[in-house]
Amino acid sequence: MPWNAPIGPGGFQSVGETVAQPPEVRDRAFSEFVLPEVEVLLRVAMTLTAQPADAEDLVQDTLLRAYRAVDRFDGEHPRAWLLTIMRRAEINRHRRRRPHLLDDPDTDLDRLTSIGTVASPEEVVVGEGFDEVVGAALAALPDQHRQVVRLVDIGGLTYGEAAEVLDVPVGTVMSRLHRARKRIRTQLAAAGLAPKPKRSRM
């Protein structure tokens, strides 16, 4: 197999594949591009998986894949590159568990995040603190909106990076994010913790 053969559907290269660079080069690239991103990877993984243990597994899987592929990485936009690897790893993990969910990764991700994270809107009670109301409002958001918020505000991703993870256009990220925050703001206003929104459409 040539060194630059396309990575298979699961993102794994076959064992024994010839590589282009000696291990020192690979190690240097891994230290430079991958290791500094571990925290961001964990934050993003938290938004993609339902359980903390799954998030840790997903990051490990991503690190392994990145290590194998790093000698063919051109050094441009390491975070975006890693997020693509993570997305592929997550789809693959999911496929192994639930083969019937092959066709729509977006739906898969939404389904994943909907497990065990939903709190009812009734939990928004007047008198609660700002963070509590925001947390409850976040939990009450539609899955797709909550996920974008988590990627950008909790994960710290740019719009472009979030679009990469979700495999949607940047415009979709923006509209979901902005509408989600507006909704959170409405909940805050209802709890008396923020002024009522203006009439303008944002």
Residues at the interface with other proteins (CB under 8 A): 15-19, 22-24, 26-27, 30-31, 34-35, 38-39, 41-43, 46, 52, 55-56, 59-60, 63-64, 67-68, 130-131, 134-135, 138, 149-150, 152-154, 156, 158-159, 170, 174, 177-178, 181, 184-185, 188, 194-195, 198, 200-202
CB of 64 to other proteins, least distance (A): 5
CB of 121 to other proteins, least distance (A): 16
Q: Is 116 exposed, middle or buried (0-12, 13-18, 19+ CB in 10 A)?
A: exposed
Question: Which residue pairs from 116-120 have beta carbons closer than 8 angstroms and sit at least 24 positions apart in sequence?
Answer: 116/50, 116/51, 117/50, 117/146
Q: By C-beta, is 3 or 104 nearer to other proteins?
A: 3
Q: By C-beta, is 101 or 135 nearer to other proteins?
A: 135
CB of 100 to other proteins, least distance (A): 28
CB of 108 to other proteins, least distance (A): 21
Q: By C-beta, is 10 or 101 nearer to other proteins?
A: 10
CB of 5 to other proteins, least distance (A): 13
| Helix segments in 21-104, DSSP class H | 23-29, 38-48, 52-69, 78-97
Work out the widest C-alpha separation in the chain, in whole angstroms: 64
Q: By C-beta, is 9 or 102 nearer to other proteins?
A: 9
CB neighbour list of residue 10: distance below 8 Å, 6 or more residues apart = 88, 92, 95
Structure tokens at 120: 């009812």
The Cβ of residue 201 has, within 10 Å, a number of other Cβ atoms equal to: 5
CB of 140 to other proteins, least distance (A): 13
Q: By C-beta, is 67 or 95 nearer to other proteins?
A: 67
Please state at what angle helix 78-97 crosses helix 159-166, rounded to 10 degrees: 30
| DSSP annotation of 51 | S
Handedness of CA 76, 33, 54, 99 (dihedral sign): positive
Q: What is the C-alpha separation between 123 and 118, in angstroms, rounded?
A: 11
Q: By C-beta, is 99 or 195 nearer to other proteins?
A: 195
